[in-house]
Amino acid sequence: MPLRKHFQIAALVAAVIAVQLAVTLSGNSHHLTQLTMSAYYSLVIVGLCLLIGYAGQISLGHAGFFAIGGYISGFLTTYNLLPYKDKAIVSIFAKTGLLVGRQDLYGGQALTFHPWTAGLIAVLATFVTALVIGGPVLKLKGHYLAMATLGFGIIVYRIVLGTEKLGAADGISDIPGFTLLPGLQVSGAAGLRIQNYYIAWGLVILSVTLLVNLVHSRIGRALRSIHGAEDAAQAMGIDTAGYKLKIFVLSAVLASIGGVFLTHYNGGIGPSEASIMKSVRYVAIVAIGGMANLWGALIMGFVLNFLSLRGYFGTYDDAVFGVILIVIMLFAPEGLITRSVFSNIRRLFGKAAPEAEV
Amino acid sequence: MNTQLFFQYIVAGVTYGTIYAIVAIGFNIIYNATGIINFAQGEFVMLGGMIAASLSGFMPLPSAILAAVIITMIIGALIEMIFIRWLDRPSVLRLIIITIGISIIIREAALFIWGEGVKALPYFTGTSVTVISIGDVHLSPQVLWSTGISAIMVIGLNLFFNYTLPGRQMRACSSNRNAARLCGINTKNMVTLSFILSAGIGALGGCVVSPMTYVQYDSGTGLAIKGFTVAILGGLGNSMAAVAAGMLLGILESFSIWIMPTAYKDVISISILLGMLFIKPSGLFGSAEAARLKDF
């Protein structure tokens, strides 16, 4: 099994490189933009897959966490603190190097938070929010859990939509790039496409490696037992509430990291990122991938997000996801990419499929 | 705040409270019959309002409303028969996702048919500026229409559930489905009936309030979450309590404008929902013991 795990990760790395080469060599470099964006959405999806598929807890509010990350980081890196330069707190920030002075779009001086500071604050804020919300929310089950997470998502959406400082319906724009290391910048500049593609997918590979290891560990087995029979798991001495909360927080943090990066990459964020349809879309992708199937979710997330971002669904974008959701849930609640599909493919190539244990 | 303004807020609260209560009753009927929360409940209200508004161009108001209610009931029945009836013991997660999918499809279909514009029926009596004055309080006759029709609806439902055979069969299903089946009740038909009933109630509600609140292809989601809040406040499954809870939420909301920007109005009611779910999910009037016996 460990060997197989390494093989899967290696396959992912190879696929990422192959896609980049194929796209660049065929002269479609502009596709890298959408490929990069779908990588950041994939972060939300793999986290959500762990929560829904492995821990058995639905969340209809993950776009909220994505938006918290993106909005906080976007706001802190664009809000000009220069008028407050003399306030004690601001000068403390400035002295500790948390702030950065730069030219704004119109050539004026601006003093804002450094992207690193802003990003860390954003992720930390999501962490705390998820921890606070997660405690009581995860005590709920079934419809109550779905409605509570949906409610959380709507609250975030209403707040970003109704707050002038966050740009209300227009969102935040002119967000600067994020220099990760000298020479390595998250930004939408055309010259940095390849670099950004690898930053994004590198992040995905890192997260997936983490999650795959998690799934194969004691925690993963505990999670599956919670999904199977929560009461029985509890009776066996598994701290079900603790595990559920940890996974909820982990998936929220992944979503917010996706939000932070995508916001700096796009140079802006709008309230639609927090909308319910976005949350539902993430759930739909996890469902199509096969709920408890990280790789399925990753593949479907990549394909569907890319098609959607390229505009293949046109004005029927939301309708497509609605139809997919229903069809999958009616006819294939186990998802499209199931183990039997994989073993069938393997049989096609003449190799005997070992009776699957992932 | 003077007394006149105070009463004006109350009137506004009751107007919205009525529609919330109607959505909540729709939730409750289906929940009682099936244990499903139908996430597409708000869409029935939207459909009722939109269809009636479209038809009112061709026919007199009462027949437009009647036709809209009947069409929505048929849609409700079709939804149940196509998507839910034949599922074999589906999990809660699966049903949640299916009804969410249904709501998206109805919403997108409405967007395709009617576009993004708002629609409204004409006022049932008078116009938008007609005012009935009771002492210092001024209200639109439509408020009386909507509260009146809702009250009649609630009384009618009560009679239906207590004194008619299908009503009693539905109650039997909700208290114990297997026992009901053993007594020869066709539980599957009861589920379809519950969808028809709650679609009809939602549609009628949509018609009555549309002159005041307008409807739009995406009105459903907001109504669904408010309706659910009310259903939870009253205790899931308890339709009489939903009326009281609806008024309570409507009034709370209308007073919240006084202390918070209107843009955050929804935040108030959803915070109430979350608070209620965290502290007492059995509702203001429900008993915690009884709630524990239910599926979830």
Instruction: Please tell me the distance in Å from B25's CA to the nearest CA on chain A.
Output: 17
Residue numbers in B near A329 (CB within 8 A): 94, 97-98, 101
Which of A142, A161, A329 shows the shortest C-beta gap to B263? A161
Instruction: Please tell me the distance in Å from B37's CA to the nearest CA on chain A.
Output: 7
> Which has more confidence, A187 or A136?
A136
Of A61, A57, A54, nearest to A294 by C-alpha is: A54
Confidence of residue A262 (pLDDT cuts 50, 70, 90): very high
Q: Which of A324, A329, A331 to mutate to test the interface with B (most CBs of B within 10 A)?
A: A329
With respect to residue B295, please indicate whether it lies within any of the assigned structural domains. no
With respect to residue B259, please indicate whether it lies within any of the assigned structural domains. yes
Q: Do B267 and A155 touch (CB under 8 A)?
A: yes
Q: Which residues contact B216 (CB under 8 A, 6 or more apart)?
A: B46, B116, B117, B118, B119
Confidence of residue A263 (pLDDT cuts 50, 70, 90): very high
Instruction: Please tell me the distance in Å from B257's CA to the nearest CA on chain A.
Output: 13
Whether B100 contacts chain A with CB within 8 A: yes
Residue numbers in B near A58 (CB within 8 A): 93, 96
Flag the least confident range among A98-107, A166-175, A192-201: A98-107
Q: What are phi and psi of A112, to 5 degrees?
A: -130, 175
DSSP B57: T
- Per-residue pLDDT tens digits for A266-279: 888 999 899 888 99
Question: pLDDT at position B296, please?
Answer: 41
CA distance A66 to A278: 10
Question: pLDDT at position A342, please?
Answer: 61
Q: Do B281 and A140 touch (CB under 8 A)?
A: yes
Question: pLDDT at position B291, please?
Answer: 56
* Contact criterion met (CB below 8 Å) for B34 and B237: no
Percent of chain A past pLDDT 70, that is, above it, reads: 91
> Tokens 């927090």 sit at which residue?
A274
DSSP B140: -
With respect to residue B100, please indicate whether it lies within any of the assigned structural domains. yes
- Per-residue pLDDT tens digits for A69-97: 999 999 988 887 777 777 777 777 777 76
Instruction: Please give the helix or strand (H or E) that residue B12 lies within, else none.
Output: helix B3-34
The 3-state DSSP composition of chain B as helix, strand, coil percent (nearest 5) reads 75, 5, 20
DSSP A176: P
ipTM of the complex: 0.85
With respect to residue B239, please indicate whether it lies within any of the assigned structural domains. yes
Span B52-64, average pLDDT: 90
Residue numbers in B near A276 (CB within 8 A): 221
- Per-residue pLDDT tens digits for B75-123: 999 999 999 888 877 887 888 889 989 999 999 999 999 988 888 888 8
> Which has more confidence, B73 or A216?
B73
Q: Do B295 and A142 touch (CB under 8 A)?
A: yes
Q: Find the helix packing angle between B3-34 and B219-234, rounded to 10°.
A: 90
With respect to residue B97, please indicate whether it lies within any of the assigned structural domains. yes
> Which has more confidence, B46 or A336?
B46
CA distance A94 to B12: 50
Q: What is the DSSP string of B233-290?
A: HH-TT-HHHHHHHHHHHHHHHHHHHHHS-GGGHHHHHHHHHHHHHHH-TT-SSS-HHH
* Contact criterion met (CB below 8 Å) for B216 and B119: yes
Span A207-224, average pLDDT: 88
Q: Do A140 and B277 touch (CB under 8 A)?
A: yes
Domains of chain A with bracketed CATH: 2-348 (1.10.3470)
- Minimum Cα–Cα distance from B99: chain A residue: A326
Residue A343 reports pLDDT greater than 50:
yes
| Tokens describing residue B108 | 């997108």
User: In a 10 Å sphere around its CB, with 0-12 CB exposed, 13-18 middle and 19+ buried, how is residue B2 labelled?
Assistant: exposed
Q: Which residues contact A335 (CB under 8 A, 6 or more apart)?
A: A287, A288, A289, A290, A291, A293, A296, A328
Span A130-135, average pLDDT: 92
Residue A352 reports pLDDT greater than 60:
no
- Counting Cα atoms < 13 Å in the Cβ hemisphere of B285 gives 17
CA distance A54 to A31: 33
Residue numbers in A near B90 (CB within 8 A): 333
Confidence of residue A347 (pLDDT cuts 50, 70, 90): low
Whether B104 contacts chain A with CB within 8 A: yes
Q: What are phi and psi of A129, to 5 degrees?
A: -60, -50
| Secondary structure of residue A55 in the 3-state scheme | coil
DSSP A352: P
Span A40-63, average pLDDT: 91
Instruction: Please tell me the distance in Å from B266's CA to the nearest CA on chain A.
Output: 7
With respect to residue B281, please indicate whether it lies within any of the assigned structural domains. yes
Number of domains in chain B: 1
Question: pLDDT at position B284, please?
Answer: 79
* Integer angstrom CA distances of residue B173 from B26, B39, B80, B129, B179: 17, 21, 17, 47, 8
Residue numbers in A near B34 (CB within 8 A): none
Span A191-204, average pLDDT: 87
Please list the residues that pair with B138 across neighbouring strands: B133
- Minimum Cα–Cα distance from A322: chain B residue: B101
Of A325, A247, A314, A311, nearest to A282 by C-alpha is: A325
Q: Do A150 and B225 touch (CB under 8 A)?
A: yes
Question: pLDDT at position A356, please?
Answer: 43
Mean pLDDT for chain A overall: 84
Instruction: Please tell me the distance in Å from A72's CA to the nearest CA on chain B.
Output: 19
Q: Which residues contact B111 (CB under 8 A, 6 or more apart)?
A: B217, B218
Q: What are phi and psi of B146, to 5 degrees?
A: -70, -40
- Written as one letter, the residue type at B117 is G
Question: pLDDT at position A171, please?
Answer: 86
Nearest 5 degrees, angle CA B289-CA B290-CA B293?
95
With respect to residue B91, please indicate whether it lies within any of the assigned structural domains. yes
Instruction: Please give the helix or strand (H or E) that residue A266 lies within, else none.
Output: helix A240-266
Q: State which residues form the domain around B277.
A: 3-288
Span A242-248, average pLDDT: 91
Question: pLDDT at position A40, please?
Answer: 92
Residue numbers in A near B98 (CB within 8 A): 325-326, 329-330
Q: Do B100 and A277 touch (CB under 8 A)?
A: no
- The enclosing domain of B209 has a CATH number of 1.10.3470
pTM: 0.87
* Contact criterion met (CB below 8 Å) for A150 and A60: yes
Residue numbers in B near A162 (CB within 8 A): 261, 263-264, 267
Residue numbers in B near A64 (CB within 8 A): none
Q: Do B267 and A148 touch (CB under 8 A)?
A: no
Which of A141, A151, A163 shows the shortest C-beta gap to B296? A141
- Counting Cα atoms < 13 Å in the Cβ hemisphere of B50 gives 25
